[in-house]
Structure formats: structure tokens, C-alpha cells
Amino acid sequence: MREKKVLAVVLSYNSVLLTGELFIKTIQSLKEQDHKELDVIVVDNCSKDNSIEEINEKFPGLRVIRLKKNKATMGYNKGIEIFLKNDYDYLLLCNNDIIFEKDFISSMAEFADKIPEAGLITPRMMMLSDKNIYNSTGIVINRTGFAWDRNFNERESDIGIPKSSEAAAASGGAMFCTKSAINAVKGFDPLYHAYYEDVDFSVRMKRKTNLRIFYNSKAVCYHAFSKSWGDNPLKEFYMIRNMYIFVLTHFKFNMVVKSMRFFIFNVKHSDEKLNRKIFFSLFILSPLILARRIKYSCMKPLQESEMENYAGFPDLSNR
């Protein structure tokens, strides 16, 4: 049986400034994979630092695509465009702050080969700062619309290694995609810009196809959590606003009503200026959100059975 061809796309933006040498280690860990049929490219979101020069120096001949502007989800979508134009079987989309175990790609490809209904596969992602602590084993969504990383901040020494299983959504930090999934969904929605774009991508795939999302316990990587965003105030803006966009786009009407009631009365940021900014942005985007809701209405509805049987603030235990 031939080894499947994989394309790994590393997203980069001001990588020297934001991650130091970590982004070089991300690329190096992919170059050292034991899976031979692997091509690695970097898509740069118009960096202003010297990260491209660093890449060219450390990895001569590595393909680097420099976008003319840093806008929304253009980076990953450029990688998807390249994937679709070439003869690849699988696609890894990853951030520039993750270190991969040597057998990561081969483990993902083997998992996908064995489970043909898998569209997206998410790894066992541990914290780079403490490799005993979980960052994610897949994304959980509850009936209010909160989405968060399963097993986040739990210790492997306490809970062991969760077995491979289905997940509600796959993390965009290191998302392994089959060609069927990419052909169905095409790309990330630029409306989100950052946060929830991976949840939206996952849910659109499930609503449009019979493909499923799995967590693979054998594929291990280590993430420098919040390294790129840090304390950027836009982080909270996007997390809260995009939660509204996701709910208004994908939830059935009765679920939207319950979710909005909870959000309006319980999910208010202490910064009133930020709250006004969020709602103004939602007002401006409302025609686009409505257009997406109408467009997706012909797809299968998002099933409540796929969500946590819980509405309100996340229960981070997940056990």
C-alpha cells in the first residue's frame, strides 16, 4: 500500500516577534517526520518582522508564500487552495507555535486510512510549558454555544490518556483534514477572522456531509498556549463576538432564543466599551450572518445530541 501524500501548511505572522525561535522549531519538527510523503509550506500573513528571512536561512528551498495583507482566514485558505490544486491525500493546517512528535503525520494518516468516515482529525495536544497538562483532545460545544477544548488544563498524571473518540469539532491549531472534507467545505469563513473559525468549519462539514470528527490519542503535539495572541484585547472581542455569529448562523431557532437570552443577561464583559463594540460589529455583519443562515438552511441541522447536555457557562471538567 502506497504511503499517502500529505501537505502540511504552517501559518505564520510576525513569528520572530511573537514566538521567538519557536516557529523554527515548529517547521523543524515537521521536516523531521518519519512520514516520507510529506511536503511542508509556510503561508506568511504579510509579516513585518524578519521571519521570512529566518525561514529562508534555516530551511533553504522551503516554499514560503507571502500574502500581500493579513486579513481574516486568508492564510489557511491559501493552503487549502494549494492542496486542492495538487495531488495530495491529506492536509495538516497548523499554527506556528506547536512542536510535533516524529510520528505525528504517520499516526494521523494511519488513523484516517482505517476510518474512512473521518473528515477531520484532532490530536492529543499538550501544553508545551508543561507536557503533563492537556491543551485539547478535541472541541466541545454546549447548548448555549460555548466551545472550548476538551480536557483543557487537566493533568495526564491524574486522568491518564483519553481514548480516541468522536469530537464535536476539531482544533484549528493542528487540524488534519481528508480530501473529502476539504472538497465539501472548501475553506474557512472570513467572517470569523480568529476564534470559532475552526468550530464553524467543523460544523459546516458535518452539516453538509456524513463525515465525522475524531480525536486521535496517538498523534501528539505540544502547543505554546496563547503565545501568538497573548494579552491582545482583540482576543476577547473576537471570542465573544464570534460566539454570537456561530450561534446565529448554525443553531435552530428555538436554540438561538435560549442561547441569546443567556448571553444577553449573563455574558457581558466588564468593559462597556468592548460590549458596545461587539454589538455594533454584529449589527454591521447582520446581513452577512443572515445570508449564511439562509444558505445553510438546506443542510442538515446541527444536532443537539452532538452537544454537551448543558446550557450556561462551560463545565471544564468534561469527564
Is 317 within a domain? no
Is 165 within a domain? yes
Identify whether the C-beta of residue 156 lies closer than 8 Å to the C-beta of residue 110: no
Kindly state whether residues 156 and 299 are assigned to the same domain. Answer: no
Confidence at residue 62, expressed as pLDDT on a 0 to 100 scale: 95
Residue 315 pLDDT > 60, yes or no? no
Kindly state whether residues 61 and 168 are assigned to the same domain. Answer: yes
The percentage of residues in the chain with a pLDDT greater than 70, rounded to a whole number, is 92
Residue ranges making up the domain that contains 96: 6-223
Residue 153 pLDDT > 50, yes or no? yes
Kindly state whether residues 125 and 247 are assigned to the same domain. Answer: no
Query: Total domain count for the chain?
Result: 2
Confidence at residue 310, expressed as pLDDT on a 0 to 100 scale: 57
Identify the CATH number of the domain in which residue 55 sits: 3.90.550.10
Kindly state whether residues 248 and 179 are assigned to the same domain. Answer: no
Is 229 within a domain? no
Q: Which of 177, 196, 223 is the last residue of a domain?
A: 223
Kindly state whether residues 24 and 130 are assigned to the same domain. Answer: yes
Is 1 within a domain? no
Is 319 within a domain? no
Residue 312 pLDDT > 70, yes or no? no
Confidence at residue 275, expressed as pLDDT on a 0 to 100 scale: 87
Kindly state whether residues 115 and 258 are assigned to the same domain. Answer: no
- What amino acid is encoded at 151 in this protein? N
Is 316 within a domain? no
Is 102 within a domain? yes
Identify whether the C-beta of residue 94 lies closer than 8 Å to the C-beta of residue 26: yes
Residue 316 pLDDT > 50, yes or no? no
Kindly state whether residues 238 and 219 are assigned to the same domain. Answer: no
Residue 263 pLDDT > 70, yes or no? yes
Kindly state whether residues 165 and 254 are assigned to the same domain. Answer: no
Confidence at residue 319, expressed as pLDDT on a 0 to 100 scale: 37
Q: What is the pTM of this model?
A: 0.92
Mean pLDDT value across residues 279-298: 96
Separation of alpha carbons 118 and 112, rounded Å: 6
Residue 272 to residues 102, 146, 269, Cα–Cα distance (Å): 47, 21, 7
Mean pLDDT value across residues 246-260: 91
Mean pLDDT rounded to a whole number for the chain: 90
Kindly state whether residues 23 and 139 are assigned to the same domain. Answer: yes
Kindly state whether residues 67 and 120 are assigned to the same domain. Answer: yes
Is 313 within a domain? no
The DSSP H or E segment spanning 122 is: strand 118-127
**140 Cβ neighbours under 8 A, 6+ residues apart:** 147, 148, 149, 150, 167, 168, 308, 314, 318
Per-residue pLDDT tens for 71-86? 657 789 999 999 999 9
Residue 188 to residues 94, 140, 182, 302, Cα–Cα distance (Å): 13, 19, 10, 18
Q: Which of 181, 200, 223 is the last residue of a domain?
A: 223
Instruction: For CA atoms 127, 219, 204, 292, give the dihedral sign.
Output: positive
Confidence at residue 311, expressed as pLDDT on a 0 to 100 scale: 59
Q: Which of 196, 223, 250 is the last residue of a domain?
A: 223
Confidence at residue 191, expressed as pLDDT on a 0 to 100 scale: 93
Kindly state whether residues 195 and 251 are assigned to the same domain. Answer: no
Per-residue pLDDT tens for 43-74? 998 888 888 899 999 999 999 999 887 765 77
Per-residue pLDDT tens for 215-252? 999 999 999 987 555 566 788 889 889 999 999 999 99
Confidence at residue 283, expressed as pLDDT on a 0 to 100 scale: 96
Kindly state whether residues 40 and 90 are assigned to the same domain. Answer: yes
